[in-house]
Amino acid sequence: MTKLSVNINKIATLRNSRGGDVPNLIQVAKDIQRFGGEGITIHPRPDERHIRYQDAYDLKPIVTTEYNIEGNPIPKFVDLVLKVKPTQVTLVPDAEDAITSNAGWDTKKHKGFLQEVISEFKRNDIRTSIFVDPIVDVIEGAKETGADRIELYTEEFASEYAKGNEKAINSYVECAQKSIDLGLGVNAGHDLSLDNIKFFKENIPGLLEVSIGHALISESIYLGLENVVNMYLHRLK
Ligand code: PXP
């Protein structure tokens, strides 16, 4: 069973672009779960350009499935996560000005730091996952940090698969198997979509969870477009 956790950052981006409360983030999170979504993911960034820190608190009583908060564990983020106490925290080494996450951890170089923050989250009963590139050495380093899971950074797979290169899955398969052998759970995310998710799922052993945002929200807009255009036409008759 692979759980689908829906990343709702894009909903917050759309809301913030008008300054009001449309679309309503809380209602969207409720509806995603009502439609069967098995988790809600948010990725608050220090500049709060999409998810605001207050959103993380407001979502807490609403998320009845798995609540996953991702981000770079700077003190402000660690503090937020310890207060909100989500099901899972996913640690991502993203720069403050990064448009989106663009690399996994160097788990050997940052081992001491990761061990420290991970043990703090674990003391607070929050499951920990760290975002990694599909490199066996990095997976071995992830085990040493004490993390419960790894999240495989799937951007490279997605872009290669779109060009027809199915072999791009190989390093992910190897790293997922290595994680399982080491007792690490396997999550994955970034650029997964309706086009590539089936192939990815069918090939990756023990895939516990995927978090999907950009494509899922874009596909939702596109697949809903005909219906909504027709609803407007009907009202304008
Ligand atoms: N995982 C991490 C660590 C991310 O930063 C993101 C994007 O916020 C995702 C997964 C989801 O990526 P996408 O929006 O491309 O589905």
Q: What are the tens digits of pLDDT across the range 73-127? A: 999 999 999 999 999 999 999 877 777 778 899 999 999 999 999 999 999 999 9
Neighbours of 37 (CB within 10 A): 21
Q: Which segments of 91-154 does DSSP mark as H helices, in order?
A: 111-123, 136-145
Q: Which residues are catalytic?
A: 43, 70, 190
DSSP character string of 8-30: -HHHHHHHHHHTS--S-HHHHHH
CA 224 vs. chain centroid, Å, equals 23
DSSP-based three-state secondary structure for 189: strand
Distance from the alpha carbon of residue 9 to the mean position of ligand 1, in angstroms: 9
pLDDT reported for residue 96: 72
Q: Indicate the pairing of strand 149-153 with strand 185-189.
A: parallel
Neighbouring residues of 50: CB distance < 8 A, sequence distance ≥ 6: 9, 10, 12, 13, 16, 43, 44
Full-model pTM: 0.96
Hunting for tokens 């994955």 — which residue is that?
188
Q: By alpha-carbon position, which residue is closest to atom 6 of ligand 1? A: 190
The answer to whether the Cα torsion of 170, 181, 120, 87 is positive or negative is positive
What is the Å distance from ligand 1's center to 183 Cα?
24
CA of 230 to the centre of ligand 1 (A): 32
Look up the domain containing 190 and give its range: 3-236
- Ligand 1: atom nearest CA of 214 is 14
Spatial neighbors of 100 by CB under 8 A, at least 6 apart, are 94, 190, 214
Q: What is the CATH number of the domain that holds 117?
A: 3.20.20.70
Per-residue pLDDT tens over the stretch 179-223:
999 999 999 999 999 999 999 999 999 999 999 999 999 999 999
DSSP summary character for residue 105: -
pLDDT band (50, 70, 90) for residue 160 = very high
Q: Is the CB of 213 under 6 A from ligand 1?
A: yes
Residues facing 207 on adjacent strands: 186
- C-alpha span between 71 and 59 (Å, rounded): 16
Whether the CB-CB separation of 187 and 152 falls below 8 Å is answered with yes
Residues 6+ apart with CB under 8 A from 176: 152, 186, 204, 205, 206, 207
Kindly state if the Cβ of 13 falls inside 6 Å of ligand 1: no
- Check pocket membership of 193 for ligand 1, CB cut-off 6 A: no
**What does the DSSP 8-state code read for residue 51?**
S
Ligand 1: distance of its center to the CA of 212 in Å? 6
- Point out the ligand 1 atom lying closest to the alpha carbon of residue 10: 14
Ligand 1 pocket mutation, candidates 4, 5, 10, 43, criterion most atoms within 8 A of CB: 43
User: How confident is the model at residue 97, as a pLDDT?
Assistant: 72
Ligand 1 within 6 A of CB of 9: yes
The number of folded domains in the chain is 1
Quick one: pLDDT at residue 78?
97
Structure tokens at 229: 């255009």
Q: Is the C-beta atom of 84 inside 6 A of ligand 1?
A: no
**Hey, what are 104's tokens?**
């996994």
pLDDT: which is higher, 101 or 50: 50
Ligand 1 in contact with 187 (CB < 6 A)?
no
Query: Rounded to the nearest whole angstrom, what is the distance from the C-alpha of residue 235 to the centroid of ligand 1?
Result: 37
C-alpha 185/C-alpha 178 separation (Å) is 10
Encoding tokens for residue 29?
């999170």
Residue 140 CB partners (closer than 8 Å, separation 6+): 107, 178, 182
